[in-house]
């Protein structure tokens, strides 16, 4: 992540692909047991090549929705479509970045990043060469032989991101990836993520608690209501990212988005 790349205008990108929405969620409902209704009748579209954040009060079902899209848990009703096909389980076109990193403590950075490829049966030399490339891309060159317990939270999450990028999935699902990371590291990571995504052309579905983070990163922001989670509002802030991160944080569109999200979420506070 050495060179600074402005984000490409994504509208043209979407127009060049056949289906504009790479992921579609149609009328998803999910309950845990009889008591807890986590999601009710959620329908959403995730445009190809865009970053969408899911934002909502704690316990409103964000993680649940993300895991349903990942195919890790089944929905009670409704379907998820990826590239027009119904999701029945995890698939090669989706990769997950975990809130608690989910790194193998007994494996070094290189093996952790290559783990998705290892599970697919790729030969050792080949997968380690690929992993080494993504380790450099996330800025961890020189740490290949380190173990997770030797890394800071921010570095661990870079490993998690590199692992997701290495399997070359079109869709990256991130569940509060920066929540266990301090504020400075978090900002740096957000900037790096945007640059990386500009190069890699991924579709990202991103769960966060942070209003600023959502406004800063997103092409599309989905606001969910309190449990049972339903879609309250979908925002599409048109933020000009071509003048760098400082300019974004002063952009009126960014400030409006922050204001609008806050006005919406405020009502859920007791």
Partner 1 sequence: MATSVAEAGTARPVRTRFANVLFWRLVSIALVLGAWEIAGRIPVSFAFPPFSATFAAFVGIILDGTLPAAYLTTLQPLATGLVVSAVFGVMFGVLMGLSRTAEWALAPVFIVMQAAPMAALIPLVTFVYGIGLTAKVLAVCLLAAPVIVLNTYKAVRTVSPSLLDMCRSFLGTPLQQVTKVILPAAGPVIFAGLRLGVAAGFIGIVLAELLITPTGIGDIITYSSSIADYPTMYATIASLIVFAGVTVSILQQVETRFVRPEKRA
Ligand X SMILES: Nc1ncnc2c1ncn2[C@@H]1O[C@H](COP(=O)(O)OP(=O)(O)OP(=O)(O)O)[C@@H](O)[C@H]1O
List interacting residues with ligand X (CB under 6 A). 32, 36, 38, 58-64, 227
Token pair for 257: 């988005």
Q: Please report the DSSP string for 221-237 in residue order.
A: EEEEPSSSB-EEEEE--
Least separation, in Å, of the C-beta of 64 and ligand X?
3
Under the binding rule (CB under 8 A), the answer on residue 144 touching partner 1 is no
Under the binding rule (CB under 8 A), the answer on residue 100 touching partner 1 is yes
Under the binding rule (CB under 8 A), the answer on residue 61 touching partner 1 is no
Partner touching 80 among Mg ion, ligand X, partner 1, none, CB below 5 to 8 Å by kind: none
Q: Please report the DSSP string for 124-184 in residue order.
A: HHHHHHHHHHHHHHTT-TT-TT--GGGS-HHHHHHHHHHHHHHTT-SEEEEESTTTTS-HH
Q: Measure the N-to-C terminal CA separation of the chain; round to a whole number of Å.
A: 42
Alpha carbon distance 217, 214 (integer Å): 5
Token pair for 8: 């490409």
Token pair for 97: 């970045």
Under the binding rule (CB under 5 A), the answer on residue 63 touching Mg ion is yes
Nearer to ligand X, 55 or 196 (CB): 55
Nearer to partner 1, 119 or 234 (CB): 119
Under the binding rule (CB under 8 A), the answer on residue 180 touching partner 1 is no
Token pair for 46: 């995730």
Least separation, in Å, of the C-beta of 216 and partner 1?
26
- Token pair 């405020």 in the structure block, residue: 266
Interface stretch with partner 1, choices 104-112, 210-218, 219-227, 257-265 (CB under 8 A): 104-112
Q: Please report the DSSP string for 78-128 in residue order.
A: EEEEETTEE--S--TTEEEE-TT----TTS-HHHHHHHHHHHTT--HHHHH
Least separation, in Å, of the C-beta of 209 and Mg ion?
9
- Beta bridge pairs of residue 32: 36
Nearer to ligand X, 100 or 259 (CB): 100
Under the binding rule (CB under 8 A), the answer on residue 119 touching partner 1 is yes
Under the binding rule (CB under 8 A), the answer on residue 104 touching partner 1 is yes
Under the binding rule (CB under 5 A), the answer on residue 179 touching Mg ion is no
Measure Cα distances from 103 to 119, 138, 225 in Å: 14, 16, 32
Partner touching 147 among ligand X, partner 1, Mg ion, none, CB below 5 to 8 Å by kind: partner 1
Which spans of this chain sit near Mg ion (rule: CB under 5 A)? 63
- Contacts with partner 1 by CB under 8 A lie at 67, 70-72, 90-92, 94-96, 98, 100, 102, 104-106, 115-116, 118-120, 147-150, 163, 167
């Amino acid at each position: 992540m050495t060179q600074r790349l402005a984000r490409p205008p994504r509208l043209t990108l979407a127009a060049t692909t056949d289906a504009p929405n790479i992921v579609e969620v149609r009328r998803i409902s999910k309950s845990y047991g009889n008591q807890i209704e986590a999601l009710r009748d959620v329908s959403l579209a995730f445009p190809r090549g865009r970053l969408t954040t899911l934002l909502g009060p704690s316990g409103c079902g964000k993680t649940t929705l993300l895991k349903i899209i990942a195919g890790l848990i089944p929905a009670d009703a409704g379907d998820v479509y990826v590239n027009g096909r119904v999701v029945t389980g995890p698939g090669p076109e989706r990769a997950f970045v975990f809130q608690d990193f989910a790194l193998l403590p007994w494996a070094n950075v290189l093996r952790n990043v290559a783990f998705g490829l290892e599970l697919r049966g790729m030969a050792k030399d080949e997968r380690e060469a690929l992993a080494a490339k993504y380790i450099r891309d996330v800025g961890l060159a020189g740490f290949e032989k380190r173990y997770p317990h030797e890394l800071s939270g921010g570095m661990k999450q870079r490993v998690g991101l590199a692992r997701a990028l290495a399997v070359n999935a079109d869709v990256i699902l991130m569940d509060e990836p920066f929540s266990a990371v301090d504020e400075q590291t978090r900002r740096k990571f957000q900037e790096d993520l945007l640059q990386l995504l500009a190069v890699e052309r991924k579709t990202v579905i991103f769960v966060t608690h942070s209003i600023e983070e959502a406004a800063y990163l997103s092409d599309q922001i989905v606001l969910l209501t309190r449990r049972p989670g339903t879609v309250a509002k979908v925002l599409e802030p048109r933020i000009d990212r071509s003048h760098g991160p400082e300019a974004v944080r002063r952009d009126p569109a960014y400030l409006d988005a922050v204001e609008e999200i806050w006005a919406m979420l405020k009502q859920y506070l007791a």
